[in-house]
Structure 1
Amino acid sequence: MKTEDIEILVQLYFEGIKTYKEACDFILKQDTKINNELFLLLLAISDSMESLAILSRYNKMRDCYVTSRVIYETILNVLTILSTNFEAMDEMMQYTQDEIAKEPARSIATDSEAVFFTFDGNNHSVGFAKHNPIKSKNPRSWTKHNIPNQINLIDKKYGKVASRSLQVAHLTIYRTASNIAHGTLYGMLQAMGLIHGKEIKSFTDTSMIEHNQQVIATLLLTTLQSTYSLIYALDKEIGLEQFEKGFYETLGQLIHEGQKRLSNKSKETNQTSYFTKEDLERKKS
């Protein structure tokens, strides 16, 4: 795979982003059941998709992984809210209020000293103390549903057209993105292409670039498929047929171009979890 190949995929990815943004603009101007808070999550997805496209052009695979997880989890959250008929929105709102309440006072302590931040509504301040003056519980997840349960809820309402892409995205993105975000050695070895039996002595700049480009291509495919899951569900909920069709067409083009460029990828990338158009099993009434 060459840089020119990635650019072709990125251009198609931007076409998907364009259609998604047009759908968001349509939603904003219509009287739908999408409330303001949920709409903000829709905007967050397009923001991170743009970041992924930009990072892809510069072969920044590690950061592409982390940004892909942001896209995946935000899509998952929106679909969970939709699949529970907005009942999960109450959980999201409560979590948001809890986090806002904790924001004015935060601290971290060692055995010898605590450092704390406070905000009185106008001014921020930093303080130091022998004992931690701020007691707060560790943040909880925003929902009582773990990720498999979230995907199961989505599957029950929208079928595997939506759920399968999320399952693939989870396996493709989640664990590796966590390792990269947490700064582990595994995360860096992944970025250098030194996994699945590869050793440091086999490392070359060329092999790393090739490895990263193959992974980036897969992340572009995987996140756009996940976004289609959301467009598909939104079409079922509020009617976005023109945008769903346009997005699906772009997804098909990206899958075709991606398959063509990934067809001779080496097994070391372990990136085979993308679908053909037929695998999406889209059923239109």
Structure 2
Amino acid sequence: MDKKIKLGTKEYLEVAQKALDKSIRLIAKSVNKGLANEKDDIAMSFSLMVGPILDTSHSLVVLSSMGKMRDCYSLSRIIFDHVLNLGYFGAKGEDTVKKALQHYHQKSFRDLDRKIEIKDLGFGIGLKDIDKAPISEKLREALDYFTSNKGFEIRSWTGDNVFKKIEIIRDSYGKEAGMMMIINLFYIYRHSSEIIHGTLFGSLFARGMTKPESEQPKDEKELEEFHRTRISFVLICTILMNYVTFQIINEHYHRQKELDELADLIKDFRITLYE
């Protein structure tokens, strides 16, 4: 990127949008050429993660053109979590993919008969006598695995938190991939969580009011510049996430030529990945 282009300007945002769009197209073209044809569980899990990563990345390009900062943060969290799980699947191997499939299997079955009760409030929908229906041994094992000793559904499919997952990804795929995840954790994860959960911090952050008072936007023009700056950060972080996605895929299914092209794209953007 030309250093004369200032962060927070329309020009900077447009360059970031074009770079993200290029990364989406490059990955999609490469993945469509063969990943879906692989027959192992890792390739299957990668394919199921890559689709949403690219689709939501495209949505980011669209929403960034409209200045939708809050929505961009929310979508970037979706991308981050998909890349996190893609790396986790690749690092931990087929047993972890099978565990995730167990989680999907039993959760789909539970969806056939669900209800929510809070004090005198209740709502539910389900198939009649589903609890009496015969089920396969495979489903029974999945239900048992994701049911606590007290009979409640265990909702998490993995006991590892986001920090542990990044540690595992770093150990398997190197410091560069780990640092890109850390950068996203630092710039995206915290603020997107506040926005998604509707906290006052999230609402005030979107107005630039969590900055020191002297740096807060004083009018709509400065607020627009703040939004463009933050949206540009989100797009840059997403470009990094797309690179990590492809770096992980390349470790399992060789695509070095396209990975080098993505690396050049990042270099052109003048991003310092780590010291």
Contact 1:192–1:203 (Cα < 8 Å) also in 2: no
**Compared with structure 1, are the counterparts of its residues 204 and 235 closer, same or farther at alpha carbon in structure 2 (3 Å cutoff)?**
same
- 1:111 and 2:119 aligned: yes
Q: Quick one: which of 13, 18, 31 aligns to 1:11?
A: 18
**Compared with structure 1, are the counterparts of its residues 218 and 64 closer, same or farther at alpha carbon in structure 2 (3 Å cutoff)?**
same
Q: Quick one: which of 123, 131, 155 aligns to 1:140?
A: 155
- The 5-angstrom pairing of residues 118-157 of structure 1 reads 118=126, 137=152, 140-157=155-172
1:8-63: CA deviations, max 9, x gaps?
21011100100110121123365464433431111111111111111111111101
**Percent identity over the alignment?**
23
1:257-285: CA deviations, max 9, x gaps?
xxxxxxxxxxxxxxxxxx426x38xxxxx
1:202 CA displacement: 5.8
Normalised TM-score (structure 2): 0.81
1:117 CA displacement: 2.8
**Compared with structure 1, are the counterparts of its residues 202 and 169 closer, same or farther at alpha carbon in structure 2 (3 Å cutoff)?**
closer
- 1:20 and 2:27 aligned: yes
1:157-190: CA deviations, max 9, x gaps?
1111111100111111111111111111111111
Bigger RCO (CA 8 Å, 6+ sep) = 2
Contact 1:24–1:43 (Cα < 8 Å) also in 2: no
1:237 CA displacement: 1.5
Q: Indicate the residue corresponding to 2:272 in structure 1.
A: 276
**Compared with structure 1, are the counterparts of its residues 29 and 169 closer, same or farther at alpha carbon in structure 2 (3 Å cutoff)?**
closer
1:231 CA displacement: 1.1
The amino acid that maps onto 2:221 is T
**Compared with structure 1, are the counterparts of its residues 203 and 101 closer, same or farther at alpha carbon in structure 2 (3 Å cutoff)?**
farther
- 1:237 and 2:252 aligned: yes
- The 5-angstrom pairing of residues 198-277 of structure 1 reads 198=213, 203-253=218-268, 255-256=269-270, 275-276=271-272
Output the CA distance in 2 between the equivalents of 1:107 and 1:236: 43
Deviates more, 1:228-237 or 1:160-169: 228-237
**Compared with structure 1, are the counterparts of its residues 110 and 165 closer, same or farther at alpha carbon in structure 2 (3 Å cutoff)?**
same
Q: Quick one: which of 165, 178, 202 aligns to 1:163?
A: 178
Output the CA distance in 1 between the equivalents of 2:76 and 2:102: 26
Q: Indicate the residue corresponding to 1:131 in structure 2.
A: none
1:97-122: CA deviations, max 9, x gaps?
122122123333332221223357xx
The amino acid that maps onto 1:84 is K
Deviates more, 1:78-87 or 1:57-66: 78-87
Q: Indicate the residue corresponding to 2:147 in structure 1.
A: none
DSSP 3-state at the match of 1:229: helix
Normalised TM-score (structure 1): 0.79
Output the CA distance in 1 between the equivalents of 2:53 and 2:127: 29
Count the aligned residue pairs.
Answer: 245
Gaps of 5+ in 2: 1-7, 129-150
The amino acid that maps onto 1:71 is I
Gaps of 5+ in 1: 121-135, 257-274, 281-285
Q: Indicate the residue corresponding to 2:55 in structure 1.
A: 47
